[in-house]
Structure 1
Amino acid sequence: MTKTLETSRLTLRKMTVADAEEVFENWTNSETVAKYLTWAPHTSIDVTKEYLAAEEDSREEGWGIVLKETNQLIGNIAVVGNNPKTKTKTMGYVLGEKFWNHGYMSEALTEVIAFLFANTDVNRIEAEHDIENPGSGHVMKKAGMCFEGILRQAGFNNRGIVDVAMYSILRSDLK
């Protein structure tokens, strides 16, 4: 069960199918938002409803990002990969374009990292981004993650096969 988290400006909560209209309007229909992602922009609200129904049933560690000031759902953040052998969790996130460059995603990622280290046995939290999307790397740095390097032609997104920048934070980094 996804636990609701709070920061000074955000509430992080489980998303439901009831959120479909806002999710569709704020980010899933946007070609600009999806450019560096692995899923195509949603062509209708029904596609967003199907996505949310699948997420609602399957994702344990995923949060919708709600802006407290307006109670608006502006993006989401989730654990998209989990390797129990290495105690590694991989993060993924997306934010509606009109909410970029306000520090919201760094704030959400920082909160989720703190939550995961406090409430799970995770040792490493990692994330990667297409090198043509440096804004995502800034989010990771602001959240305390360290740049590890470029993995050449190791990613695939809506641009095709791409180089990705890898970032991580270890439990030992917090001491």
Structure 2
Amino acid sequence: MEGTIETQRLRLRKMTTADSEEVFNNWTSSENVARYLTWEAHTLVEVTKEYLAFEEEHRKEGWGIVLKETNQLMGTITVIDDKVKTKTKTIGYVLGEQFWNQGYMSEALSKVIEYLFEITDVNRIEAEHDVSNPSSGRVMAKSGMTFEGILRQAGYNNQGIVDVAFYSVLRSDLI
């Protein structure tokens, strides 16, 4: 991934360890944010710094979400799995709770979907969420993804073993 991705209100850019304190303050330290995720809320900024160092080195397709108006980092959106044989990319995202319900994540996800279809040969982009977190499913639907179904007790997060809803968009859906 080179450069940044722009939307009307957002700039998606690579994060670095220099962002640790802002990332910690805006979302990684929040119990509410981590509730349906696979990692626990960070209690120390050093944990966030280690996480960002890992992301910087290993993730080619991952972006920090910056609100242009304030230049504030408010979340992240990442390709968390890349299945080369089926040309499928799985997207994961997280947003600080002070930014919830304002359409930011749908805006970011829509643009990342568009970007990935433009610059890669991906055929399928998918995402999943704990069924107890329907807001995440609304983000997926608003971004043009199709609900595919629920896999019972197929996921694990900070709530334990959970039912998971799956969404996807295919290249052919956009033609």
- Sort the TM-score into its range (normalised by shorter chain): over 0.9
Residue 161, structure 1, aligned to residue 161, structure 2: yes
Measure how far apart 1:88 and its partner are: 0.3
> What residue number does 2:131 align with?
131
Measure how far apart 1:2 and its partner are: 4.1
Q: How does 1:52-91 map to 2 (within 5 A)?
A: 52-91=52-91
> What residue number does 1:22 align with?
22
TM-score by length of 1: 0.99
Q: RMSD in angstroms over aligned alpha carbons?
A: 0.6
Residue 5, structure 1, aligned to residue 16, structure 2: no
> What residue number does 1:150 align with?
150
Distance in 2, Cα, partners of 1:26 & 1:48: 11
Distance in 2, Cα, partners of 1:106 & 1:139: 5
Q: Counterpart of 1:26 in 2: which secondary structure?
A: helix
Distance in 1, Cα, partners of 2:116 & 2:83: 14
Distance in 1, Cα, partners of 2:82 & 2:54: 18
Percent of paired sites with the same residue: 72
Distance in 2, Cα, partners of 1:115 & 1:96: 23
- Structure 2 stretches lacking a partner, 5+ long: none
Q: Segments of 4+ in structure 1 off by > 4 A?
A: none
> What residue number does 1:33 align with?
33
Measure how far apart 1:3 and its partner are: 3.2
Distance in 1, Cα, partners of 2:91 & 2:59: 13
- Equivalent AA in structure 1 for residue 29 of structure 2: N
TM-score by length of 2: 0.99
Label 1:2 to 1:92 Cα distance change in 2 as closer, same or farther (>3 A).
Answer: farther
CA displacement, residues 49-99 of structure 1 (integer Å, 9 cap, x when unaligned): 000011101100000000000000000000000100000000000000000
Q: How does 1:92-103 map to 2 (within 5 A)?
A: 92-103=92-103
- Equivalent AA in structure 1 for residue 87 of structure 2: K
- Equivalent AA in structure 2 for residue 93 of structure 1: Y
Aligned residues: 175
- Equivalent AA in structure 1 for residue 75 of structure 2: G
- Structure 1 stretches lacking a partner, 5+ long: none
> What residue number does 2:112 align with?
112
Distance in 2, Cα, partners of 1:3 & 1:91: 19
